[in-house]
């Protein structure tokens, strides 16, 4: 009669990180194995990732003779504020739903609150079997939250493996466009072949791997202003429809990222946290250097992308940022320049 009919539990913890960083750590199911306490209970515990790793539908299965066998799946992912997951364990009295809410207290401190509950009531005659379950769950969940805090703050203290270095400077020839964030792969697929074809037609030497240059982005509309480019060793007269970008020799933060290109969002959130808590200003563009050729290396875990955040340390407001234009201004300027180029070409033909 005194045994629980259900489970309701609340938890909270403060973590020294940005809201965005905590969001991706919970939203990326691959990261869970780094902070869950479950494996400590069971030396033979195993975890297997499902086909989807981020956002709604991301999941993994687990199995351990002591802890139990089951599945975790993300059911909701509302930007970087609220996430919800369901946990099935054959040794638990029912399906547990857990909701994470991220509340920023400053740029580098967030409060994480959680609510857990069993979806359906425990059958009356089985309640005595789970008399200690609420207490055990609460203890385990507190250990999970502490593990999450320790893992994230440990990454921050190690700067995520990023290194301070100097970007050597380079020339890039390619195609620019403001595009919707989810269309980046399509933009690259359509435009890199055009850039490679131009290099071949002009007999230009490619001096390094292809790059993506990120000039500006709008979080609200998910638009990003980017360039698909290839490095070259000489300035040329740029054909209509293409762009030449010269990036100077400048201090930078470099992060090596291994894995599929989908992992790059997490990398940028890490770098954004570093920038938001440093005294440096960001000097555009952000550079993604795609070192590994996917056609030559089928194993996505071995794909290497170098991410560069260029730094302007000349003052609290860098010249680059002071002169930085809005995306609308850049688009308008770009179109005006193309019109001028086209008019110049037409005059020469006449």
Of residues 336 and 311, more confidence is placed in: 311
Whether the pLDDT of residue 70 is over 80: the answer is: yes
Report the alpha-carbon angle 264-267-273, nearest 5. 145
Using pLDDT thresholds of 50, 70 and 90, give the confidence band for residue 120: confident
Which CATH number covers residue 203? 3.20.80.10
Q: What percent of the chain has pLDDT over 90?
A: 53
The fraction of the chain above a pLDDT of 70, given in percent, is 85
For 107, list phi and psi in degrees, rounded to 5: -65, -25
Question: Which tokens in the block code for residue 2?
Answer: 């005194």
Give first-to-last CA distance, the chain, whole Å.
96
Minimum mean pLDDT among 9-13, 75-79, 224-228: which range?
75-79
Report the alpha-carbon distance of residue 226 to residue 176 in Å, rounded: 6
Q: For residues 42 and 70, which has the higher predicted lDDT (pLDDT)?
A: 70
pLDDT (average), residues 71-91: 91
What is the rounded average pLDDT of the residues 186-195?
95
Q: Are 229 and 195 in contact (CB under 8 A)?
A: yes
Collect all residues with Cβ–Cβ distance below 8 Å to 332 and sequence separation of at least 6.
Answer: none
Tell whether 219 and 151 lie within a shared domain: no
pLDDT score for 108:
85
From 157, 180, 202, the end of a domain falls on 157
In a domain, 343, yes or no: yes
What pLDDT, on a 0 to 100 scale, did the predictor assign at position 332? Answer: 57
**pLDDT band with cut points at 50, 70 and 90 for residue 278:** confident
Q: What pLDDT sits at residue 253?
A: 92
**Of 232-236, 276-280, 335-339, which has the strongest mean pLDDT?**
232-236
Please state which of the ranges 140-154, 265-279, 283-297, 335-349 shows the lowest mean pLDDT: 335-349
Q: Give me the pLDDT at residue 163, please.
A: 87
Classify residue 3: in a domain, yes or no. Answer: no
Q: Which of 157, 186, 216 is the last residue of a domain?
A: 157
How high is the pLDDT of residue 222?
Answer: 72
Instruction: Tell me the pLDDT tens digit for each residue of 291-333.
Output: 998 888 999 889 999 999 999 855 433 333 334 444 455 455 5
Tell me: do 213 and 234 sit in the same domain: yes
Residue 67 exposed, middle or buried by CB count within 10 Å (0-12, 13-18, 19+): buried
Give the DSSP letter of residue 292. S
Query: Do 301 and 263 fall within a single domain?
Result: yes
Which CATH number is 144's domain given? Answer: 3.30.530.20
Q: Does residue 336 lie within any of the structural domains?
A: yes
Output 231 or 296, whichever has higher pLDDT.
231
DSSP E strand boundaries for 50-108: 59-64, 68-78, 82-89, 96-106
Query: Do 194 and 306 fall into the same domain?
Result: yes
Q: Are residues 42 and 111 in the same domain?
A: yes
The answer on pLDDT for 245 being more than 90 is: yes
- Looking at the fold, whether 65 and 203 belong to one and the same domain comes out as no
Strand partners, 40: none
Residue with tokens 């010249």: 319
In a domain, 340, yes or no: yes
Angle 133-157/19-27 helices, nearest 10 degrees?
120
Q: Is 248 part of any domain?
A: yes
Query: Mean pLDDT, to the nearest integer, of 40-58?
Result: 89
Per 3-state DSSP, the chain is made up of helix, strand and coil in percentages (nearest 5) of: 35, 35, 30
Q: Which of 93, 127, 157 is the last residue of a domain?
A: 157
Tokens of 205: 């030497």
Residue 18 sits in which domain range?
8-157
Chain Cα centroid distance, residue 315: 28
For the chain, the C-alpha Rg in angstroms (whole number) is: 25
Confidence band, pLDDT 50/70/90 cuts, at residue 74: very high
pLDDT bin (cut points 50, 70, 90) of residue 42 is confident
Helices 19-27, 264-276: crossing angle, 10 deg rounding = 160
Same domain, residue pair 76 and 170: no
pLDDT of residue 316: 38
Residue 112 lies in a domain: yes
Three-class SS of residue 286? strand
Assess whether 96 and 140 both reside in one domain: yes
- The predicted pLDDT at position 315 comes to 47
Q: Please give the structure tokens belonging to residue 260.
A: 């599929």
* Average pLDDT over all residues of the chain: 85
In a shared domain, residues 171 and 27: no
The reported pLDDT for the residue numbered 119 is 82
Mean pLDDT of 256-263: 85
Q: Which residue has the higher pLDDT, 166 or 266?
A: 166
């Amino acid at each position: 009669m005194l045994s629980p009919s259900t489970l309701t539990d609340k938890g909270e913890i403060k973590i020294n990180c940005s809201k965005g960083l905590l969001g991706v750590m919970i939203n990326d199911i691959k990261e869970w194995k780094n902070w869950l306490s479950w494996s400590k209970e069971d030396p033979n515990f195993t975890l297997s990732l499902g086909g989807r790793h981020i956002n709604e539908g991301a999941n993994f299965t687990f199995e351990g003779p002591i802890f139990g066998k089951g599945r975790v799946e993300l059911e909701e992912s509302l930007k970087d504020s609220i996430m919800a997951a369901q946990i099935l364990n054959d040794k638990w009295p029912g399906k547990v739903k857990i909701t994470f809410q991220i509340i920023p207290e400053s740029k580098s401190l967030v409060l994480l609150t959680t609510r857990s509950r069993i979806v359906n009531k425990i059958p009356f005659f089985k309640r005595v079997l789970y008399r200690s379950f609420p207490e055990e769950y609460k203890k385990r969940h507190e250990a999970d939250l502490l593990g999450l805090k320790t893992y994230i703050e440990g990454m921050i203290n190690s700067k995520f493996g990023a290194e301070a270095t100097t970007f050597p400077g380079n020339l890039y020839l390619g195609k620019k466009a403001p595009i919707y964030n989810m269309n980046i792969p399509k933009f690259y697929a359509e435009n890199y072949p055009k850039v490679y074809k131009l290099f071949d037609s002009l007999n230009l030497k490619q001096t390094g791997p292809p790059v993506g240059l990120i000039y500006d982005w709008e979080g609200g509309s998910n638009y990003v202003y980017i360039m698909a480019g290839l490095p070259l060793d000489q300035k040329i007269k740029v054909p209509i429809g293409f762009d030449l970008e010269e990036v100077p020799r400048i201090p930078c933060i470099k992060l090596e990222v291994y894995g599929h290109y989908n992992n790059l969002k997490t990398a940028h959130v890490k770098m954004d946290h570093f920038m938001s808590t440093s005294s440096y200003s960001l000097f555009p563009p952000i550079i993604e250097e795609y070192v590994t050729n996917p056609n030559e290396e089928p194993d996505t875990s071995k794909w290497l992308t170098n991410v560069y955040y260029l730094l302007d340390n000349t003052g609290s407001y860098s010249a680059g940022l002071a002169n930085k234009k809005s995306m609308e201004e850049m688009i308008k300027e770009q179109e005006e320049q193309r019109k001028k180029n086209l008019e110049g070409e037409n005059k020469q033909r006449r």
